[in-house]
Every structure is written in C-alpha cells, then in structure tokens.
Chain A
Amino acid sequence: MEVLDSLEVRNLNCRYDSKWILRNISFKVKPGEALAIVGPSASGKTTLTYCLSGVIPNRIRAEVSGCLRVDGEELLGKPIKEIIKSIGVVLQNYELQVFGLTVEEDLELSMKEDDRDTLERVLKLFELEKYRRYYVHELSGGLKHRLVIASTILTDPKYIVMDDPVVNLDWNSRMIVAKTIELLKQKGKGVIILGRRLKGLEKVVDRWIHITPERSENTLPWPQQTKTTNSKTVTELSDDPIIEFREVYYRYSKEYVLKNVSLQIRKGEIHAVMGPNGSGKTTLMKHINGLLKPSRGTVLVNNVDTKKTSPAEMSKFVGIVFQDPEKYFVSERVWDEVAFGVRNLGLDEKNVDVALRMLNLEDRKDSSPYSLSMGEKIRLYIASVVAMDPQIIILDEPTTGQDEGTLEQMMNTIKKLRDMNKTIVVVTHDSDFALSVADRLTILKDGSVYAEGSPLELLNNISLVQEVGIEPLSIEGEEKCLAK
C-alpha cells in the first residue's frame, strides 16, 4: 500500500534549454526523517531545491517533468504560494532570505502569530539570544545562516529543504543545525538536506543519496602536482619571519576583535589559521595586507609596517584569494581577469600566461569568467593573484562549499605554490584540510591566539579541539595522524 504521508519525488527531470540538469531523480521522505542529498558542484542540487519549492517552473523557465507529491497531493507546477504551505526552503544564497533589519525583527516577520514564547524558544535553541537586537549586517556569515534556518522553522512547514546549510558554519554552529534537525524530526517534520559535503550532520541523517552531474561537464582538470616535496619539514623552513604580529589589538567599534596577538609566520611555510566564527580569523587576515590597521601594536610583513602602507602597495608582496571569487570579476575574458592585478602593479604581462599555464586555464583564456565552473572560478582567482607574483598568498576559507574532488586538487595547488617558495596562509574551518596542507597551525579564540604549533599535535588534542569548538578530525584525518 502506498504511504500517503510523505514528500515523494518520482522520476524528476529538469533541463534548461538543451542541458539536462536532473534525470530520473526519485526519493521519498517521511515525517520525522532526514534525507541527505550529496553531490559535487553542478550536480543539480540547487535546481532540485528550486523544483521542490516551485521556483521552477514558476519563476525560472525550465522544462520539468515527473512527480512531486506531498501527502499524496501532486504539487509539481502548482503556484509557489501553495507549495510553501507544506515545504519551507533555506536557499544556498541565504543572505537574501533575511528581511528584518534586526535578528528579533526577522524572526518576528516569519511568525504566523505574535507568540513571544515560541520566539524566545527559537532564539535560545539557535543561541541567538545575545544577538537579538543586533542589526543583521553586523552578524557574521555563519550567524546569518543560523538566523535564516531559525526563521524558516518559525514558518512551521511540514517539510523543510535546506540547500547547503552548513557551508559557512563553524563546528559549533553545525552542531546547532544537527540538534535542530534532530528536534525537527522529533516534531514530525521531514527534512531534506542538500550539499557538497555535510560534515557534522552524519549522526542525524537517516538516509543518503548521491547525485552526480548529469551532463559531462566541459571542465578542465586541475593541474596535477608534478613533484610535491611534501616532506619539507618545519625545521627545513627559514627561521626568518616574513609576517610578524607584535602585540596587536584591533577593534571595529567598542569591543576588541583582536587582543594582544603576537604571531610569527616564517618564509616558505604553509600556515593555517583556525577558530570558531567570530574568533577574529578574517580580521587577522586583513591585517596582513594592510586592509585593516592595528588599533595598537605592529604588523610587519617583509619588514614593512602595514600601518604606513596602503593595501594596493602591499599587494606587491601579499595576495589574497577571497571567498566567492565570481563576486569580484571585472573582465569579460579570463585572460584580462588574470591581467587585472598585473596591470595595476605595472608588471610584465608574460606573468599572465605563466599563471594561466600553472593553473591549467590556458584553454579557457578567451572564455567569460562567469561561464566557468566553480572549481575553475577559484583557479582563475588564484591565477590572478599568482600572476602578481607575491611572496605571500592568503587563502580565505578555500574549502568552503567545495566537493571532495575540488579539495584534493586545491591541496595540490597549494603544495605547488609552496614549492615555488611562496608563503601560504590558509584561513579555514576544515581540520582535515589544515592537517593535510599546513606546516604550522594557529588557533584563535575570542580574538586571541589560543594555541600555536604543529597541526598534527594540536588537532590530535581532543580536549583542545572541544574547548575551542573547532571541527574535529574525521576518521580519515585521524588515520593520517596515526600514519604520521
């Protein structure tokens, strides 16, 4: 007998023009169950989210066929307002789902009735109590994401779809999401979680589905690591610090975000910086190239005081690879995009071809940057920084939202850059990644250096990892530790 009480997708197909994005997708979620749908970039996860919420075909034109049944009622093709009565959605681009100006206001806007008790309960559950009067733009990305999930839950749908819900979250926030999913299950809600990697949610997910890109993507492979000297040990590195923080304090308004930070990063090393959301990682990173100047103390980079130098001048020896590279593209051609920094610094344009070759993007040099796949876009941004030939390259959360394949290739690129004697600073939440690439690790907590040393020692120290609230190593990571 057919179970009517469920969200059921059967033989779902979707294509934009001639490109098939989804082919024969079928699954069923019952109330009180959590289903994870995992797949690499371009595997159609966001398209599937749009199909489930009615955005496709109501707002985005696409050919869609198959069945989407909620408790036996066919909803595919129905107006969005009918679908969202039973399916709540947290989009990947979550920032746009925040409508209130303050945290409390945003939550109030989602409530069907003025119920203070529910509001207080949700604030407590999501640990948002102390931020209730904060303006939304004052929150970090992780906190905003938490707020959107909380707001969606307040609309009280029977099924909830979350597209990449842990992508920007630190370990503690992921645990909150895991706790929420558990709670939703207990309340009889059905949860569908889509993502590239869903670390931290393993215990609450009941079933997993893997989807792969339907079309063979016309994507160039990442450069293979030719000769990786992974055996370069800390003792082999130069003793001269190329980056030095001397008792640095920094504050945006009243509270200090960095407090008495003293840190040395040696020439040629790969240095990882970890810490929970709001611990000061990004603030520390922005001090290295002078985007932020210390309120007190000194930051010396290559013996240059960043306080007295503009970020544009600092870019001669410090390059930053920011998150979401496509947000910063300025050119219509890949080649011109890589040449942007080179031209600003008045360097030889031959650097552009060298960087494109190194990142294996030569064949894409005439393409539009926006037409590239996510992996290629990241490589393009790295190429534009490499072409400026800085001695120091900073990577801001390079693992965020990346699938396993892209991560593996990124590790190779980082090691290749190190072989070129670049100093690499990686800001990350990903413990496995830090362990794989870094020579040294600094852990920040509440704006101060909490621990510094070998990644192997620090990440293997379970009590330290729990105290700080960073991501523990996965089983594979622990195996690597044992092997080392």
Chain B
Amino acid sequence: MLGKIALDLDSRTKILLFITWFSMVFICRNLYSLLTLFASSTLILILSGSAFSVFKKMKIMLPLVLLSWPLWTFLGNWSLFHSTGGGFDLFFGLFMMLRLLLIIMISVAFILIVKPTEIIGTINSVKLPPQVGAVFALAFRNLYITAEDYKSIKEAHTSRGLELDKGSLVKRIRSHIPLLIPLIIKSIDNAEKLVLALELRPSIMNRRKSKPLRLQDTVMIIGCVIVLLFMAYYSFVMVS
C-alpha cells in the first residue's frame, strides 16, 4: 500500500522527499537520532516493498561501511594539519559509520525508486530553459548507449579469446585496453551523429507542459518542508 503510494507520487514530490530524507542524515547530530532515522528508514523501505532490492544492492558497499568504523574510531581526532589530542572515540566511530550507511541506503533507494525520466520531468517543470532538460535527457540516453556498446564490445572480444577476469590486476587492466579503443571511436562517432539527429528533430528542445500537483503531492511537500524546518531548528537552535 505504502509502496504504491510512494511510486504513484509526482516526480517533483519524490525528489523533494529524497532531499528531505538525505538532509536529515546531516541534520541529525547525535548517535541516537541517527539510530532512530536508520530504524524508521528501514521500516519505510520494508513497508514500501523496496527493502530487499535496496539491501541487496548495498551488499557490495558493506566492507567499506565496516572499515569506516575503526577508521573513524581511531583516526577521527587526527589530522595532517592539526591534532586535537588523539585517543579513540567509539561513539564517534559508530556515529560516522551509521551516517555512511544511511547515505548509501538513501542513494541506492533513490536510484531504484526515482527513474531518470522523473528527474528530467522535474527539471522541465521548474523554470529552467527547456534546453537544460533536453541536455540532461540526452546525457542519460547517451549513458545507456555507451553502456550497451561496452557490453556488446566486451562480448565480441571475449568471444575472440580475450580473458578479462583472469591474472593479476595489471594484466586485467591491460586486457581492458582493446575494449576502450572501439568504445572511444564509437562514442566519438555517436556524438557526431547525435548532433545531426538533434538537428533533424528540433522539437525535443521545446518546453513541455508540466502537470499541476495533486492533493496528496501538495500534502507531502508541505510535510517535507515542516519536517526539514523542525529538524533544523531542533538541531541547530535548541541543542546549541
């Protein structure tokens, strides 16, 4: 139910929701508030049905998150330019690890939930020149084209005996060079042809009409603004 509501929101609302969520990670200034945020974020992801895919994608980053704990615990008070004493701070290490974990969690959720086309929709709906939205759309589209080219070139080369995943790191990097040559040539060629194609279809530079916000979107946007203001007031005014 919650998942359906979240996915059904207007692209502008979704993006504002993520901005609020992301900002809260930096506004929270103690371990307990971060823990509360982590628990509520996990609950939201579970209820929205995205938890499995988000945690699956996060798996690869876990070693980095775990490594951050001892690093911040033991080196948190140390700097190349000044020293504030030294020693270790277990809570500070935990706080920073949790913050990193939340940053990764929200970023992954953003990538999985907000589609590129919704980002473009949002850019088009604010008063920016239509070319800005078109340039972003083309950049996203080109990303897919390059990724497809990379995949097909990789397949063609491994089919001609190129081993990419064996040997030392240096050998593996060297093996990737034959992949880059055709990819670069293709990308330059694509860029030239894309300019031609753009000239042949100039309508993509026209401004698109944006839909008016619905009630649930308006309520959600007001909610986000209130939460942001309250959190900022609490963290920066009340606590200090």
Chain A positions near chain B (C-beta within 8 angstroms): 53, 55, 59, 80-81, 84, 89, 91, 93, 95-102, 105, 108-112, 114, 135-137, 151-152, 155, 286, 289, 291, 310-312, 315-316, 318-320, 322, 327-330, 340-341, 344-345, 384-385, 388
Contacts of A89 in B (CB 8 A): 200
Provide the bound-state CA to CA distance between A334 and B193, in Å: 26
B197 touches A96 (CB 8 A): yes
9 cross-chain pairs, A with B, having the tightest CB-CB distances, nearest first: A344-B161, A341-B160, A137-B144, A328-B156, A311-B158, A312-B163, A345-B161, A315-B161, A101-B117
Contacts of A111 in B (CB 8 A): 203
Contacts of B161 in A (CB 8 A): 312, 315-316, 341, 344-345, 388
Write the chain A residue with the least CB distance to B195: A59
- Assess whether B165 is interfacial by the CB under 8 Å rule: yes
A310 touches B165 (CB 8 A): yes
- Report A480 CB to chain B, min CB distance, Å: 33
- Assess whether B56 is interfacial by the CB under 8 Å rule: no
B137 touches A312 (CB 8 A): no
Chain B positions near chain A (C-beta within 8 angstroms): 115-117, 120, 134, 137-138, 140-141, 144-145, 147-149, 152-153, 155-166, 178, 181-182, 186, 190, 193-204, 208-209
Picked from B152, B203, B208, the residue with its CB within 8 Å of the CB of A155 is: B203
- Report B227 CB to chain A, min CB distance, Å: 31
A155 touches B201 (CB 8 A): yes
A291 touches B155 (CB 8 A): yes
Provide the bound-state CA to CA distance between A322 and B148, in Å: 14
A81 touches B117 (CB 8 A): no
Listed by A's residue number, 7 A-B pairs whose Cβ atoms lie within 8 Å are A55-B199, A84-B200, A89-B200, A96-B190, A98-B141, A110-B203, A328-B153
Provide the bound-state CA to CA distance between A98 and B201, in Å: 10
B152 touches A340 (CB 8 A): no
Contacts of A91 in B (CB 8 A): 193, 196-197, 200
Provide the bound-state CA to CA distance between A102 and B117, in Å: 8
A327 touches B182 (CB 8 A): yes
- Report B152 CB to chain A, min CB distance, Å: 7
- Report A377 CB to chain B, min CB distance, Å: 13
B152 touches A322 (CB 8 A): yes
Provide the bound-state CA to CA distance between A328 and B194, in Å: 20
A340 touches B178 (CB 8 A): yes
B153 touches A310 (CB 8 A): no
- Report A147 CB to chain B, min CB distance, Å: 13
Contacts of B147 in A (CB 8 A): 137
Write the chain B residue with the least CB distance to A152: B201
User: Max chain B CB contacts within 10 Å: which of A151, A310, A330, A388?
Assistant: A330
A329 touches B182 (CB 8 A): yes
Contacts of B137 in A (CB 8 A): 99-101
Given A137-B148, A327-B153, A328-B156, verify A81-B202 contact (CB < 8 Å): yes
Contacts of A96 in B (CB 8 A): 145, 190, 193-194, 196-197
Given A137-B148, A327-B153, verify A315-B159 contact (CB < 8 Å): yes
B203 touches A112 (CB 8 A): yes
Given A102-B117, A327-B182, A340-B178, verify A312-B203 contact (CB < 8 Å): no
Provide the bound-state CA to CA distance between A328 and B140, in Å: 24
Given A99-B138, A344-B161, verify A109-B155 contact (CB < 8 Å): no
Contacts of B148 in A (CB 8 A): 137
B159 touches A327 (CB 8 A): no
User: Max chain B CB contacts within 10 Å: which of A96, A100, A105, A327?
Assistant: A96
